[in-house]
Structure 1
């Protein structure tokens, strides 16, 4: 079991902003997962990776792929209180789910 979080590299988020958006995505997708998947992921160490995304269109496409694969996912839109315009898509979490299925969706991306 693992979770992949894809964070945009094209919008110039600061380090703290990036960390917050990744955390929002991770928790939101976790909350959407079925109880059995949540429990298995938690008991297995909550494996997660953060990957580079190059834009909103890519994150939307990956979200569609996750949905087709039956994986929980969460797209994060910023509230716009600090660095970004309200509604800016910042990150996507895919999973928790089977590592092979998560990799099917996000396996071509580079580590952040």
Structure 2
């Protein structure tokens, strides 16, 4: 069995409560599942298998500078979460990115060097 983990990169440059952060991470997880598995299945496309990941469901939450999140957003291959601005943040604030499900060995060095979110 692989050591699959879902990596969520959180914007370290914004001030956000723990409850709000939990909601944003929840959006990142659900959006990933929707766009990688549910929506492709509805369209008859090939889906990403989540079977192996679902055995343990490890999630790693890392602090990441906003400029790096913006680079990932421009790359267009990640699940990006921007806040609607209903409560604590300005509308369209980049809060986090779901980097995907990977083994630690698959991560680039810069991701391995990010600090865990405290």
The TM-score bracket by the shorter chain reads 0.7 to 0.9
Separation (CA, whole Å) in 1 of partners of 2:60 and 2:76: 16
Gaps of 5+ in 1: 68-72
Separation (CA, whole Å) in 2 of partners of 1:46 and 1:23: 13
Instruction: Note if contact 1:4-1:106 (Cα within 8 Å) is conserved in structure 2.
Output: no
Number of paired residues?
Answer: 104
2:42 aligned partner: none
Query: Over alpha carbons, which structure has the higher Rg?
Result: 2
1:70 aligned partner: none
Instruction: Give the superposition deviation at 1:106.
Output: 2.1
Gaps of 5+ in 2: 38-46
Instruction: Give the superposition deviation at 1:64.
Output: 5.6
2:24 aligned partner: 21
1:53 aligned partner: 64
Separation (CA, whole Å) in 1 of partners of 2:59 and 2:74: 20
RMSD of equivalent CA atoms? 2.1
Regions of 4+ moved over 6 Å: none
Taking structure 1 as the reference length, the TM-score comes to 0.79
Taking structure 2 as the reference length, the TM-score comes to 0.75
Pairs within 5 Å for 1:27-106: 27-34=30-37, 35-43=47-55, 45-55=56-66, 57-63=67-73, 67=77, 73-101=78-106, 103-104=107-108, 106=111
Instruction: Give the superposition deviation at 1:100.
Output: 2.5
